Amino acid sequence: MNIVMVASESLPFAKSGGLADVVYSLSSALVSKGEKVSIILPYYQQIAKKGIELEYVAQYDIRMSWRDQAVTLYKKEEEGIDYYFIANDYYFRREKMYDYMDDGERFAFFALASTEAIRYLKEKVDIVHVHDWQAAIIPTLVAENYYKDPTFAGIKFVLTIHNPAFKGMLDRYFVSDFFNLSDYLFDIGKIRFEGMFSTLKSGIIYSDVITTVSPTHREELLTREGGQGLDTVLEYRRDDFYGILNGIDYEEWSPHKDPFIAKKYNKTSLEIGKHLNQADLLRSYNLHWYGGPVYGMVSRLTWQKGVDLVLEEARSILSKGGNFVLLGSGEYEVEQKFEALRTQYPDTCGIYIGYNNALAHKIYAGCDFFLMPSLFEPCGLSQMIAQRYGTLPICRKTGGLADSVHPYDGVISGKEDGLLFEDYNIQGLDYAIYRAEELYRNQEGYYKVARVAMNQDHSWATSAKNYLTLYRKVLKKK
Ligand code: ADP
Ligand code: GLC
């Protein structure tokens, strides 16, 4: 099978969150099963700066409203995956990947240029797998604008929704001005969402199948409360809508061979490993330990992640003499609030604002508990990484967190591998912390649960198999 992924980020070139991990790990797993995989990405400045040698593939223009924008298409083969880069200085030679006023136009260009790029792939494509709003318009473009083009004949489209909060809401003039689509599609409501043009909704309507990244999140998206407005449109596609739980990359995330941590360890050497890595983590943040549990968080700092609850809970943890360390970046006000917390507890609270992969590894290995009280979480990778390192995740029971954490609730039966709470409020989180501290006081019990967490199989093997089955099924569809 020849599969093309189109996404706004993928490891090892560009990452802001789990999307990059998933696009890369799924592709690698598919390659190891003998499939051919290409990934199309924007050629961001941060990739250009790496100075990687690229192969020139083609040059072409994309009509963007009243002007043409040039695309240079490059290629790089790495670990059996063909990466294709869409280069255009005007749109992508910028400091950050996102958060510009014209993101709508930037990714409209990316989607249009990626569709054209498919022409330059050597082998006939079977599946185009588009991820999130930035690429979600591609199935619509092909169905409406390329239906007579033999290059695209027979291609099936899979859309994965990683984050339904971002729907690609664009002004209606994008429909005809940028995408050359008929206004009629907007007028009859096919690509319209809450009065605007939505690339994500269009993707849901036009893709052959739609997936999201956990079974529970699929169920949530079909409800009014958890659907983020998409429930009715997803209900219409219910039979073609699947929930497949992500995995994590065991090459990157394995304490027995992690080059970033002070002391490598496995299940047998967990106690000593935890102890030495914790000391190293506290040293990295220049913190003092007063004998309490060490809580950590690695996250995009945005409302989705329950940062308001963490701010409140961290204050209470710190006031009891515990440690709290954070690595993250995101909304400026949230960053400032965490900085203020550090000022208040300088010798027990560590805050690092920014992106830092090495420090992320140290946190997963060195903490006792990992905080992830998300308001919603389509899958979440951090809780699975924490488990892999024998660090117990404290999560809200939502989306993929509900699917991957079996909560300790006062009794150790041999199945528990983390902590969960239901209601999104401080009392809910307080309860989980109360249980966590109870477990921490019983060190034997804590390590028993931590070992169960380490034993979980979150490898990509199962998830990749599920995607393959889905690709095969969709290829058989008329
Ligand atoms: P999301 O994709 O919603 O951000 P996930 O849990 O799926 O959440 O994935 C987040 C990934 O990004 C994890 O691998 C996490 O370790 C990583 N990550 C998040 N913030 C940072 C950061 N500031 N520095 C390093 N890694 C980070
Ligand atoms: C999104 C979601 C996260 C998920 C990731 C990868 O960023 O917020 O829950 O794990 O995508 O699918």
Per-residue pLDDT tens digits for 20-73: 999 999 999 999 999 999 999 999 999 999 999 999 999 999 999 889 999 999
Give the number of whichever ligand sits closest to the CA of residue 383.
1
pTM score above 0.85: yes
Share of the chain above pLDDT 90, in %: 99
The pLDDT of residue 23:
98
Q: For ligand 2, which residues put their CB under 6 angstroms from it?
A: 17-19, 22, 162-163, 213, 246, 377-381, 400
Is residue 478 scored above 90 in pLDDT? no
Would you say the CB of residue 355 lies under 6 angstroms from ligand 1?
A: yes
The pLDDT of residue 281:
98
142-162 core/surface letters (b: 16 or more CB in 10 A; e: else): bbbbbeeeeebeebbbbbbbb
* Burial group, residue 246, by CB count within 10 angstroms (0-12, 13-18, 19+): buried
Residue nearest to atom 7 of ligand 2 (CA): 18
Are 277 and 346 in contact by the 8 Å Cβ rule? The answer is no
Residue with tokens 């039979």: 239
Q: What is the 3-state secondary structure (H, E, C) of the chain?
A: CEEEEECCCECCCECCCHHHHHHHHHHHHHHHCCCEEEEEEECCHHHHCCCCCCEEEEEEEEEECCEEEEEEEEEEEECCEEEEEEECHHHHCCCCCCCCCCHHHHHHHHHHHHHHHHHHCCCCCCEEEEEHHHHCCHHHHHHHHCCCCHHHCCCEEEEEECCCCCCCEECCHHHHHCCCCCHHHHHCCCCEECCEEEHHHHHHHHCCEEEECCHHHHHHHCCCCCCCCCHHHHHHCHHHEEECCCCCCCCCCCCCCCCCCCCCCCCCCHHHHHHHHHHHHHHHCCCCCCCCCEEEEEEEECHHHCHHHHHHHHHHHHHCCCEEEEEEEECHHHHHHHHHHHHHCCCCEEEEECCCHHHHHHHHHHCCEEEECCCCCCCCCHHHHHHHCCCEEEEECCHHHHHHCCECCCCCCCCCCEEEECCCCHHHHHHHHHHHHHHHHCHHHHHHHHHHHHHCCCCHHHHHHHHHHHHHHHHHCC
Whole-angstrom distance, CA of residue 267 vs CA of residue 265: 7
Residue nearest to atom 1 of ligand 2 (CA): 162
The side-by-side arrangement of strands in the sheet containing 169-170 is 169-170, 196-198, 192-193
Report the mean per-residue pLDDT for the chain.
97
The pLDDT of residue 297:
98
Residues 6+ apart with CB under 8 A from 328: 297, 298, 299, 300, 301, 335, 338, 352, 353
Would you say the CB of residue 328 lies under 6 angstroms from ligand 1?
A: yes
Give the number of whichever ligand sits closest to the CA of residue 400.
2
- Give the distance from CA 380 to its chain's centroid: 7
Index of the ligand 2 atom closest to the CA of residue 378: 9
pLDDT band at 477 (very low <50, low <70, confident <90, very high): confident
The pLDDT of residue 406:
98
Q: Which two tokens stand for residue 36?
A: 């051919």
The pLDDT of residue 257:
98
How many A from CA of 22 to the centre of ligand 2?
A: 8
Segment 377-398, tens digit of pLDDT = 999 999 999 999 999 999 999 9
The pLDDT of residue 26:
98
Q: Which two tokens stand for residue 96?
A: 């950050």
Give the number of whichever ligand sits closest to the CA of residue 217.
2
The pLDDT of residue 446:
98
How many A from CA of 382 to the centre of ligand 1?
A: 7
Is residue 304 scored above 90 in pLDDT? yes
How many A from CA of 187 to the centre of ligand 2?
A: 32
pLDDT band at 94 (very low <50, low <70, confident <90, very high): very high
